[in-house]
Amino acid sequence: MPSVALSQVKLGDRIGQDVVTSLGGILFHKGRVVTPREYEILQAFLISNVDIEPREETADRSADPKASENKESKPQNSLEAEYDKMFKLLKKIYSTNTSGFGLPILELRMQLEALLKHTKDYNILTFSPRIVSDDDYIFHNSVLCALTSYQLAQWNLFPHKDWIPVALAGLFHDIGNVRIDRSKLFKPTALTPAEAEEMKSHTIQGYNLLKNVAAINEGVKLTALQHHEKIDGTGYPSGLAGDTIHPYARIVAVADIFHAMTLQRVYRKAISPYLVLETLQKESFGKLDPLYVRAFIEKVTQFHNGTVVRLSDNRIGEIVFSDRNHPTRPWVSVNGTIINLTTTHQLHIESIIQR
């Protein structure tokens, strides 16, 4: 198994032995294929030599390294494949149905259950579908809310019988948008007061679409109505407060805000998930259910030391210590220099590169 200088590593090479950083963290596991991203990380960590598996020198691979990279990236894993099916099914149904009575609940539920079987591969902070258009955003947000709400229900010790209904609540929470004028729904500039009121009506519209669907429980229907209510009573449409808001709606509200802010949009960039977590933490004081927010932040930030991250100034480093009181701001080692994000406020984690 040859050990070669980093400068001699080719795109498409497969790593033969775990690559270990100077601090003892595993940067890449054996078998990882080198793409431009891996190569950049190896450079950032000053890795001089890499063990690679024997190369199968083929004309295609040596002639076009990018072809090898594309070949590696094409296959979908099971999570991605089922996610894509769920997204396409939801888009098809929403585009052809606005009455609610014709919703194929069984078909939707079966596809949702097929997707949820792969939640062990779903990383809330790193899973990011490609948004082709703002029309697509609506469906991606709904599918992601289903996945995240399903996990939140478990993290908050909901009974097993509630897990699928909570996921359905996430899937259907914005169904009322099918009755909102498209020009207002995707308006890239500020809405007028009248347009904002029309947008808010999607909660009532959604409940009206679902209220006579016998195959889903009341919590799913109430989530469509209540997911914009706030714990302090300042939300809409009814100004409900505290425990008068259905638990499903309180769960989905957390997921909805997170994905609305972290998904890429046509007219704005996605916001770093770590900044969004900090926003959720602030919103938990009076706006969102603090117990659900706390569980969400604690679970998604359970990093192992050695997790490789990209900082907001584009530097790459690895987490060496996590402060339980500041879970979104661990200590990060960049080329041997420790950056304490709890005191270095001008920086934040932009993304996870390798867990």
The H or E element containing residue 279 is helix 273-283
Pairing, β 3-5 against β 49-51 = antiparallel
Is the CATH number of domain 3-73 3.90.105.10?
yes
pLDDT of 68 reads 40
Q: Please report the pLDDT score of residue 266 as a whole number.
A: 63
Residue ranges of the domains in the chain? 3-73, 78-300, 308-354
List the pLDDT tens digit at each of the 355 positions of the chain.
Answer: 578 888 888 888 888 888 888 777 778 888 888 887 788 788 777 788 888 888 765 434 444 444 444 444 444 689 999 999 999 999 888 777 655 557 888 899 999 999 999 999 999 988 888 776 767 888 999 999 999 999 999 999 999 999 999 999 999 999 998 888 878 887 777 888 999 999 999 999 999 999 999 899 999 999 999 999 999 999 999 999 999 999 999 999 999 999 999 987 766 778 899 999 999 998 888 899 999 999 999 999 987 777 888 999 999 999 988 888 889 999 999 988 999 999 999 999 998 886 6
Please report, for residues 54, 144, 174, the alpha-carbon distance to residue 123 in angstroms, rounded to integers and kept in the order given.
Answer: 32, 11, 23
Euclidean distance between CA atoms 292 and 210, whole angstroms: 25
Out of 1.10.3210.10, 1.20.20.10, 1.10.150.650, 2.60.40.10, the CATH code matching 78-300 is 1.10.3210.10
The backbone torsions φ and ψ at residue 39, rounded to the nearest 5 degrees and listed phi first, read: -65, -40
* Rounded Cα gap, residues 263 and 125, in angstroms: 11
On the question of a common fold for 3-73 and 78-300, the answer reads no
Dihedral of alpha carbons 291, 295, 296, 297, sign? positive
Among 326, 327, 330, residue whose Cα is nearest residue 318: 330
DSSP of 82-113: HHHHHHHHHHHHHHH--SSTT--HHHHHHHHH
| Of 262, 295, 286, nearest in space to 276 by CA | 262
**What phi and psi values does residue 3 have, to the nearest 5 degrees?**
-105, 125
pLDDT at residue number 73: 43
Kindly tell me the sign of the dihedral angle through the C-alpha atoms of 301, 318, 261, 38.
Answer: negative
Strand partners, 19: 28
pLDDT at residue 232, as a whole number? 95
CA–CA distance, 200 with 99 (Å, rounded to integer): 19
pLDDT at 103: 80
pLDDT at position 264: 79
pLDDT for 282 equals 87
Question: For the chain, first and last CA: distance in Å?
Answer: 25
**Residue 3 neighbours by CB under 8 Å, 6+ apart:** 49, 50, 51, 52
- Name the pTM for this structure: 0.80
The token pair that represents 54 in the structure block = 């024997």
How far apart CA 296 and CA 125 sit, in angstroms, is: 11
> What's residue 39's pLDDT?
80
With H, G, I as helix, E, B as strand and everything else as coil, classify residue 287. Answer: coil
